[in-house]
Amino acid sequence: MAAPRFPHVFRDPGLYTQALTHRSAGRPNNERLEFLGDSLVGMLVAEMLFEAHPRADEGELTRLRAQLVSGAALAEVARDLDLGDQLRLGTGELKSGGFRRDSILADAFEALVAAVYLDAGWDACRQCVRTLFAQRVATLRIPEKDAKTRLQELLQSKGKPLPAYTLIASTGEDHAKTFDIECVIESPPLRLAGQGSSRRAAEQMAAAAALVHIKEIFANER
């Protein structure tokens, strides 16, 4: 038994059914399988990325893996396999559209991977995951590091203290606030401002501004 386009035929149909049974539909459900599948998917995708990007460092590989195994990403894999149509949900989840919910779809996919492992062993599970993620891994590119990370790494490479970010002001209604942040660098001494619709966005803006100035300073020191 297999889902449409799913690259494994189950010898034990009960495992397939359990993997696609949400807890709202009673027991046995896929909660325990999802626990196991989460680790299996993470490890096997990490292996694929390790092979595909031999020059990537740990941070880059971690960011790549996060793109592939996030709840939203796994939900997309589940949709490609039409798992939503195969789910067994309780009445409440059916009425609320649970078969479309990212968290439920992602959990079902992870549970299905665990079910493959229990049904046919490691090699079959590994081949299944590699088949499903081959195209996604091949087209994935290492994301550019954000401004805060690049600033921190640049300062560390020069043996300088890390920057600090201070909230200067926040204005506006709760649903439309604007945040003003100051990035403070001890050496070389710099204070750069940033503004954004969230504190994180404002910090990134301030870090980007600081990068421009600090790169020029370091270039002139050569």
Cα→Cα distances 6→9, 20, 86, 171, Å:
8, 13, 12, 51
Q: Where in the chain is the domain with CATH 3.30.160.20?
A: 147-221
d(CA 152, CA 66): 21
Which residue pairs, CB below 8 angstroms and at least 24 apart, start in 212-221?
214/151, 214/154, 214/155, 214/185, 214/188, 214/190, 215/154, 217/188, 218/154, 218/158
Helix (H), strand (E) at residue 47? helix 31-52
Residues in a beta bridge with 192: 183
Q: Quick check: is 216 catalytic?
A: no
Nearest to 25 by CA among 89, 97, 100: 89
DSSP state of 55: T
What is the model's pTM?
A: 0.68
Q: For position 2, what pLDDT does the model report?
A: 45
**Which CATH entry fits the domain spanning 147-221: 3.30.160.20, 1.10.357.10, 3.40.50.720, 3.30.1330.10?**
3.30.160.20
**Residue in 38, 180, 182, 203 annotated catalytic:** 38
Q: What is the pLDDT along the chain (222 residues), one digit of tens a residue?
A: 444 478 899 999 999 999 999 999 889 999 999 999 999 999 999 999 999 999 888 888 998 999 999 999 999 999 999 998 899 988 888 888 878 889 999 999 999 999 999 999 999 999 999 999 999 999 988 777 789 988 998 999 889 999 999 999 998 887 788 999 999 999 889 999 999 999 999 999 999 999 998 888 888 776
Q: Where in the chain is the domain with CATH 1.10.1520.10?
A: 13-139
Burial class of residue 191, CB neighbours in 10 A (0-12, 13-18, 19+): exposed
Known binding-site positions for Mg(2+): 34, 107, 110
Q: Quick check: is 38 catalytic?
A: yes
Known binding-site positions: 34, 107, 110
Q: For position 222, what pLDDT does the model report?
A: 63
Q: For position 1, what pLDDT does the model report?
A: 44
Kindly indicate whether the domain formed by 13-139 is annotated with CATH number 1.10.1520.10.
yes
Q: For position 65, what pLDDT does the model report?
A: 94
What is 133-173 written as a DSSP string?
HHHHHHH--PPPPPHHHHHHHHHHHTTPPPPEEEEEEEES-
Token pair recorded at residue 112: 């299905």
**Residue in 93, 110, 119, 203 annotated catalytic:** 110
Helix (H), strand (E) at residue 71? helix 71-80
Residues with Cβ within 8 Å of 137's Cβ and at least 6 positions away in sequence, in order, are 45, 48, 49, 52, 68
